């Protein structure tokens, strides 16, 4: 393990220690939220994930000269949105998955109705958290727009719809595949960077550099995800592998081959690192993150 990846691992562990208690605190809801609903939301939100998206929010905020803590509401909100999307994607009517992060999926642990409502609850609550807690107000409103656009019908939800349709209308072009992934995962990752930059008070130039960095990182992340589905280890991944091929899903290695996919991810990460290098020393974590995405094994 290189020293920079060790540094990043420790940064991510540090950030997780900051974010996890805040997520817990936000889930201390009044008795108006039925126990079963809160349990179900908590089960998936605090499932021991890497908390990569909220970490990105805090890292971007810091890279723009802001203080980490100021972006915590936005950071927690994006994890709620990400978690809701996993819960709904796993449903029988969607991907029908039984296993997620090494544990039963939400609807297997609870039931389908509860899982649908837990997802709805997390999605809605994400916007409550930003509107109630994110300061300053102007940044809060911008963060809501970023997150809603990234997660909405022209973003993540649209990408998931396109992905489901692609199972019947086979994808043969790289461009189509890229369009799905940009919506399904890219825009949300990008919004993490943008929200952090907004709270950190970034100027327009920095905001747009971090935006493009987010796009590159998101696509590279998807490519390595596809590669891990082929080469990964079920125990490390905490979910079933080699599912894509079984389901006839279009993937980067499927369309491009394994080596060219690796090269493509490599180029994207190269570009991502270039984009943030003007930030100087403050870009360190962002550059490390880029390398991490490329070299991750889970």
Binding residue (CB under 8 A) for a copy of itself from 91, 237, 256, 258: 91
Binding residue (CB under 8 A) for a copy of itself from 153, 257, 260, 278: 153
Q: Does residue 47 interact with a copy of itself by CB under 8 A?
A: no
Distance CA 135, CA 194 (A): 15
252 by DSSP, 3-state: which? helix
What's the token pair of residue 276? 């943030």
Given the rule CB under 8 A, which of 68-76, 110-118, 229-237, 264-272 is the region that contacts a copy of itself? 110-118
Q: Does residue 29 interact with a copy of itself by CB under 8 A?
A: yes
Q: Does residue 173 interact with a copy of itself by CB under 8 A?
A: no
Q: Does residue 123 interact with a copy of itself by CB under 8 A?
A: yes
What's the token pair of residue 237? 């991944």
Q: Which of 124/246 has CB closer to a copy of itself?
A: 124
Binding residue (CB under 8 A) for a copy of itself from 46, 50, 149, 270: 149
Report in angstroms the alpha-carbon separations of 82 from 29, 130, 227, 229: 20, 15, 21, 20
Tell the burial category of 91 from Cβ atoms under 10 Å away from its Cβ (0-12, 13-18, 19+): middle
Q: Does residue 46 interact with a copy of itself by CB under 8 A?
A: no
Binding residue (CB under 8 A) for a copy of itself from 19, 41, 59, 63: 41
Binding residue (CB under 8 A) for a copy of itself from 69, 111, 203, 297: 111
Q: Does residue 28 interact with a copy of itself by CB under 8 A?
A: no
Residue 87 Cβ vs a copy of itself, minimum distance, rounded to whole Å:
11
Would you give the binding string for a copy of itself spanning residues 128-147, x where CB under 8 A is met? x-xxx----xx-xxx-xx-x
Binding residue (CB under 8 A) for a copy of itself from 4, 18, 37, 270: 37
Closest alpha carbon to 45 in 13, 16, 23: 23
103 by DSSP, 3-state: which? strand
Distance CA 88, CA 91 (A): 5
- Residue 52: CB partners within 8 Å, gap ≥ 6? 12
Angle at 55 between CA 91 and CA 268, to 5 degrees: 85
Per DSSP, the residues of 33-100 read S-HHHHHHHHHHHTS----HHHHHHHHHHHHTT--GGGGHHHHHHHHHHHHHHHHHHHSTTTT--SEE
Q: Does residue 157 interact with a copy of itself by CB under 8 A?
A: yes
Closest alpha carbon to 155 in 190, 122, 123: 190
Return residues touching a copy of itself (CB under 8 A).
29-30, 32-34, 36-38, 41, 84, 88, 91, 93-94, 111-114, 116-117, 119-121, 123-125, 127-128, 130-132, 137-138, 140-142, 144-145, 147-149, 151-155, 157-158, 160-162, 164-165, 179, 183
């Amino acid at each position: 393990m290189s020293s920079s990846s060790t540094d990043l691992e420790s940064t991510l562990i540090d950030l997780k220690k900051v974010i996890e208690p805040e997520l817990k605190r936000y889930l201390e809801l009044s008795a108006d939220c039925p126990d079963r609903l809160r349990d179900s939301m908590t089960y998936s939100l605090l499932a021991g994930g890497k908390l990569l998206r909220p970490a990105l929010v805090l890292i971007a905020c810091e890279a723009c000269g802001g203080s980490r803590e100021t972006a915590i509401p936005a950071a927690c909100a994006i994890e709620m949105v990400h978690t809701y999307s996993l819960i709904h994607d796993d449903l029988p009517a969607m991907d029908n998955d039984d296993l997620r992060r090494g544990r039963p999926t939400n609807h297997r642990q609870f039931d389908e109705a509860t899982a649908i409502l837990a997802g709805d609850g997390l999605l809605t609550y994400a916007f409550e958290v930003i509107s109630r807690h994110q300061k300053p107000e102007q940044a809060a409103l911008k963060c809501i727009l970023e997150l809603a656009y990234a997660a909405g019908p022209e973003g993540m939800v649209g990408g998931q719809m396109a992905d489901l349709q692609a199972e019947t209308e086979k994808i043969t072009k790289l461009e189509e595949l890229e369009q799905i992934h940009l919506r399904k995962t890219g825009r949300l990752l990008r919004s993490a960077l943008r929200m952090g930059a907004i709270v950190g008070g970034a100027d327009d130039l920095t905001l747009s550099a971090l935006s493009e960095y987010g796009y590159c990182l998101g696509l590279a992340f998807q490519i390595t995800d596809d590669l891990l589905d082929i080469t990964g280890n079920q125990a490390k991944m905490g979910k079933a592998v080699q599912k894509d091929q079984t389901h006839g899903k279009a993937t980067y290695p499927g369309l491009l081959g394994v080596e060219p996919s690796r090269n493509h991810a490599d180029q994207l990460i190269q570009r991502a690192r270039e984009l943030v290098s003007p930030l100087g020393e403050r870009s360190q974590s962002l550059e490390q993150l880029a390398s991490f995405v490329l070299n991750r094994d889970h």
